[in-house]
Chains A and B, each alone.
Chain A
């Protein structure tokens, strides 16, 4: 789908390119990661409980619904993280491998 969020103003900012799930996405300097991802697409992550896509909820760092991941597996809270040029974001949670203590 096209973007979920709609820009209403402040569109004269410097353009920044990031990658989301491997594809280039045009965003603007000053965007949160959440806005960058959701002006281009419809979701931030999958619910791990099988009820579909999630796109955040509170936008003030309280609900933790907006987690995304970087290519190195770091978890970001998308609503409170400003984007930086060249960010490589994944909407899919990296596979977890548990250390084998057997």
Chain B
């Protein structure tokens, strides 16, 4: 029989395990990925003519990366794989994509969104200077291109990625100016019982911190970023911050890697009309899903960090679960033991992720203290002061309304890098709870399209 037409968007750990599970049940899914190769961001593959080993590229996660890559290689003939393909809209059970300069329309019966995450950003004055990159971006430069973003990089923000990328830079021979964590150390101690849900991951994280300390890298916890100094022409030249005791410091650097853990990429779920709910723990809006990844829209499923920031191991489990949900919903037999097993894995990883959230919280309170002349929207250089003025003068306390007046969220990144912070700035300026500020609606196209494109078969 012809199985359901299943489209998976994203070829990271969630997408690959989802595809594997569907193929095992005799379904031939279509996998659409914006990347040139499978692996997603975490298991991103280097270009073909690079020679670094898995161990060099992925460190403690090398074995997992190798297994996932070979899993995908084995699936290649049994899936329809569309790399370098940008999904820019979803409407009425059709995926609209741009592939090799042409628009293509792909109808589906079931759609599994495995869209992953990007860095979650809080502005700091001067972050628009050339040489400031997202933490994830700093990692991509190294992993995918064997480059450092500068001669002397300061790492600032919070989350496990802060230590991972700084340690990877150190190991690769790059200059690390400092590692500055906005989260106080005490939170990590308090979160220890939850972090022990994944003892190996906890150990790996501690080993990274230790390696940085042993190398003499200045490390601070509980910092408040003050300013990235530099010039519009020359870019970044330094960074100033306050330590946990309120003492101001400044250091010289030509690059800054900045990030506050991750945020899910949810624009496509929004265009697919999935319902969202406010997640008080992370102060952001997330698509509403059931334990297996079913969204509020029949036939639309979510898995991986694009649904919840639970990490790569959880992405594999949730990718399998979403596939099993697709199978069950389309009348295929599914063994409940298998579902239960994946759910148990996910529950343990959820506990660990809670520990990470507790250890490395989003510093919402920074928004209140950002100076008026700091840029909040890097795309269009809109300042925090301008956004506050809009809130005060127009009474716009809802994200989309404030966006219409201030243009914050309207630029080329479409709110990916300003949206979380803008919501906090609005909430503080208007003195309303963050959930009342709402969320920026996803708009098609979810990324800018070139003007000269042709319709397929036209």
Contact = CB atoms under 8 A, between A and B. Distances in A.
A73 to B, nearest CB: 10
Contact of A63 (B144, B381, B417): B417
Interface string A61-102: 111110100000011000110100000000000000000000
B172 A8 contact: yes
A43 B74 CA distance: 41
The interface residues of chain A, by DSSP majority, are classed as loop
Nearest to A5: B147
A39 B47 contact: no
B130 A63 contact: no
The interface residues of chain B, by DSSP majority, are classed as loop
Given A8-B147, A60-B118, A65-B413, 17 more contacts: A4-B130, A5-B149, A9-B146, A30-B48, A42-B130, A42-B234, A47-B232, A53-B232, A54-B130, A55-B131, A57-B378, A58-B119, A58-B136, A59-B133, A62-B417, A64-B447, A82-B36
Contacts of B133: 56-59
Given A9-B172, A35-B147, A29 B49 contact: yes
Contact of B148 (A5, A12, A50, A59): A5
B277 interface: no
B295 to A, nearest CB: 22
B381 A50 contact: yes
Interface string B42-65: 000011111110001000000000
B359 interface: no
Contacts of A74: 450
Contact of A52 (B49, B233, B417, B448): B233
A53 B235 contact: yes
Contact of B412 (A8, A42, A63): A63
B413 A64 contact: yes
B80 to A, nearest CB: 22
A64 B379 contact: yes
A4 B136 CA distance: 17
A13 interface: yes
Interface string A15-46: 00000000000000111100100010011000
Interface string B110-143: 0000000011000000001111111011101110
